[in-house]
Amino acid sequence: MQPPENPLDAQLLRVFCILLAERSVTRTAARLNLSQPATSLALKRLREIFGDQLLVRGRDGMVPTERAIALHQTAIKALEELDNLLVDPNRVDPASSHQSFTIALPDYVAPAYLAGAVREFRQRAPHARLALRSLGADFDFEGALAAGTVDIVIGNWPSPPPYLRTSTLFEDDVVSLVDREHPFAREAPSRAEFLAANHIAPTPYSVAHRGVVETHLTKMRISRERRLVISYFAMAPYMLVGTDLVFTTSRHFARYFTTILPLAIVEPPLEFPRMRFYQLWHDRTQQSPIHHWLRQVLTRNRLPGDPAPGQPGPGTAS
C-alpha cells in the first residue's frame, strides 16, 4: 500500500486538537511553545491533508467546520493511545510507594464511585496516602494543579479548562429526585408542571464552572422556581424528605440516595445533555508513572452499570 502523500504525524495531530480547543493560532502557539508562523504552517498542512478548512472565521473568532468537529474525538483518542505508549507500566510499583496524593472533587460524586477507587488504591498501594478534598467557590483548583498541591480534579462542567489534560471517567443521565410521596412520583409531570414546581438549586462553584443543569437551562432560556438554594449538593437529598421540592441531578447520585432515603427518581420532561464526569490533571504529572497508575485506578473504577466512558477531552492523554 502506498503511503499517503501528506502523512499525518503526532505533532500535527496535537496541533489540530489544541487548535480546536483554543480556536486561535496565537493561543495554540503559546500552549505548544511554537512560533506563530510554525503553527500557521501546521494548520495549512492539516487543511491539505484533510481537504477541509477545519477552522474558519466567525463573528467572535475562529470556528470549527463540521468536518473538524467530526474528526476531533477520533484525533483525541489517537493521541491518548500514543501518549500511553510513552508510559512504561513496568517502571511503577504502587505496592512500594510511600507517596501522598490529593484528589479534589465536588460533593455530587456519589460515595459509591469513590469507594471502589479507594478500595483498589488501598489494596495496591498500602503505604501510600490519599487525601480527598472538596471543591468550593473559594478554591482555585487550576492554581492548585499547577502548583502540585492537588494531583487530580474530578468534575463535570460543560467546558473544562482547555489547557489541562482530561480523560472521561463515566457519563450519566440527568434525572430529578423527589420525596417518595411527591405527586411527581405517582404521575410524570408535564413540562409546565415541572417548571412551576419548587426546585432546589445548588450554588455553582464559580461563574466559570456552572453545572450542566443550570448551563443548559440558561442556554435554552428556561427558568424554574428556585425555592431553596444550597451550597452543598450532598445536602439536597435530605431536604427533599417530606417536602414538595424537586432536585435535578445525575442518575448515579440520585440512585445512591434512593437506597438510604425515602426518595423516588423522576424522568424530567426536558431533554438535558448527558453529564460527562472526567478527571483533570496538569502537564507536570503527565509522564509520571505513579500518577498514570492513579489515573487508571479512577478510570477502572466506574460505577457498576455505568455506560462505557466516552472520549478524553481536549487536553488528551491518560
**Annotated domain spans of the chain:** 10-85, 95-172+275-300, 174-266
CA distance 44 to 235: 52
CA distance 200 to 239: 9
pTM for the structure as a whole: 0.65
Per-residue pLDDT, 156: 83
Contact 86, 80 (CB under 8 A): no
Per-residue pLDDT, 311: 37
Per-residue pLDDT, 75: 86
Per-residue pLDDT, 102: 92
Per-residue pLDDT, 317: 38
| 117-151 burial: b if 16+ Cβ within 10 Å, else e | bbeebeeebeebebeeeebeeebebbebbeeeebb
Per-residue pLDDT, 30: 79
**Quick check: do 95-172+275-300 and 174-266 share a fold?**
yes
Per-residue pLDDT, 316: 36
C-alpha cell at 179: 420525596
Per-residue pLDDT, 124: 95
Per-residue pLDDT, 140: 83
Per-residue pLDDT, 276: 84
Q: pLDDT tens digits, the chain, 318 residues: what are they? A: 444 456 788 889 889 988 887 788 988 887 777 899 999 999 999 999 999 999 998 877 788 999 998 898 788 778 767 766 666 656 788 999 888 899 999 887 767 778 889 999 999 999 999 999 888 767 788 888 888 889 999 988 777 888 899 988 888 899 999 999 999 999 999 999 999 999 998 876 555 556 677 777 777 677 787 888 888 888 999 999 999 999 999 898 899 899 999 999 999 999 888 888 889 999 889 888 899 999 999 988 866 555 444 333 333 333
CA distance 243 to 264: 13
Per-residue pLDDT, 205: 59
**CATH of 10-85 among 1.10.357.140, 3.40.30.10, 3.40.470.10, 1.10.10.10:** 1.10.10.10
Q: Considering the domain 174-266 in this protein, what is its CATH number?
A: 3.40.190.10
User: Per the CATH hierarchy, to which homologous superfamily does domain 95-172+275-300 belong?
Assistant: Periplasmic binding protein-like II (3.40.190.10)
β-strand partners of 216: none
